């Protein structure tokens, strides 16, 4: 059974569409989830409800009748689309949360969805670049004359690594969020939680100051924009554009592998641990709700040390 993309999925029935909309409003208003998280839930759940409508009808009865067999059929349809195991687990998590909401809202009295096990995943260690390679990436903008906004691009790359912020946190920064004299920025993380991030690097602060003095006024022009990083038309720099910038400069500087803005966040965390930072302090700097998420980086550091031992020890 093939799973259709969102833009070609069957139209949901009116009752089902109403519960779907109420669920999304619940996630944003009562759960306090970030917009990007709600957007992921919307896409994942819309895909499932579209599949259910196509193969079992779009009435509420078909939603209530979902059991392990139907979920297994849907998971197989996703595998046929070659979705990664992590994507399957995320889809199932969205479905579970939706069914919990339906019970909480009194629409259903029970569900068999909770009995369905998530697919087992291998824990993948994030890719981490060495400090020298990170420096090479950050210094790449401006090396050739065709780079139109080298100060902006060098600033945003440097800020990603200096603070460990997520891409959405960096692109969401406003002028009022940044204090270069104190070396601080106030970012808005997941669940709209604010935290302070530190811009300790003098080089990053200097490049940011140059960008604010020269490039940014030319980009904004006579108008006004609150955003720290802007496009050539003065609009907010998007996460997609930032992703493309990182890809471009990584390829140009000869860095292999799947490098993304999040790679610099991984580098920040791993290099901080290597420098002696404690796991609890690192959790706060990264804005992780659970220390278990932060502990992944201890495994990255152990893996790096093991590789160094094998490389340098005479009997390694």
Q: Which residues are catalytic?
A: 166, 190, 262, 265, 288, 297
Rg (CA), the chain: 23
- In whole angstroms, what is the distance from residue 290 CA to residue 277 CA? 17
CB atoms inside a 10 Å sphere around CB 6:
11
State the sign of the Cα–Cα–Cα–Cα dihedral 275, 281, 285, 287: positive
Question: Helix 239-252 to helix 261-274 angle, to the nearest 10 degrees?
Answer: 70
């Amino acid at each position: 059974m093939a799973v259709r993309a969102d833009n070609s999925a069957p139209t949901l029935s009116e009752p089902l569409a109403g519960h779907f909309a109420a669920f999304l409003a619940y996630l944003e208003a009562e759960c306090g989830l970030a917009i990007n998280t709600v957007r992921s839930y919307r896409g994942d759940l819309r895909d499932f409800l579209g599949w259910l409508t196509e193969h079992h009808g779009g009435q509420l009865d078909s939603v209530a009748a979902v059991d392990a067999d139907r979920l297994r059929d849907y998971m197989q349809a996703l595998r046929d689309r070659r979705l990664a195991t992590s994507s399957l687990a995320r889809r199932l998590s969205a479905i579970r949360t939706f069914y919990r909401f339906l019970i909480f809202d009194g629409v259903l009295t029970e569900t068999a969805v909770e009995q369905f096990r998530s697919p087992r995943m291998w824990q993948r260690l994030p890719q981490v670049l060495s400090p020298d390679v990170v420096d090479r990436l950050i210094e790449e903008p401006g090396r050739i004359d065709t780079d139109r906004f080298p100060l902006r691009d060098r600033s945003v790359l440097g800020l990603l690594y200096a603070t460990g912020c997520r891409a959405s946190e960096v692109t969401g920064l406003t002028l009022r969020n940044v204090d270069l004299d104190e070396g601080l920025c106030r970012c808005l993380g997941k669940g709209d939680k604010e935290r302070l991030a530190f811009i300790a690097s003098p080089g990053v602060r200097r490049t940011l100051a140059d960008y604010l003095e020269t490039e940014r006024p030319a980009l904004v022009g006579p108008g006004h924009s609150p955003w720290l990083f802007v496009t050539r038309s003065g609009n907010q720099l998007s996460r997609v554009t930032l992703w493309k910038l990182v890809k471009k400069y990584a390829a140009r500087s000869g860095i292999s592998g799947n490098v993304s803005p999040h790679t610099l966040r991984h580098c920040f965390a791993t290099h901080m641990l290597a420098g002696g930072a404690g796991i609890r302090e690192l959790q706060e700097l990264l804005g992780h709700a659970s220390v278990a998420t932060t502990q992944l980086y201890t495994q990255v550091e152990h893996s790096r040390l093991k590789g160094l031992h094998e490389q340098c020890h005479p009997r390694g």
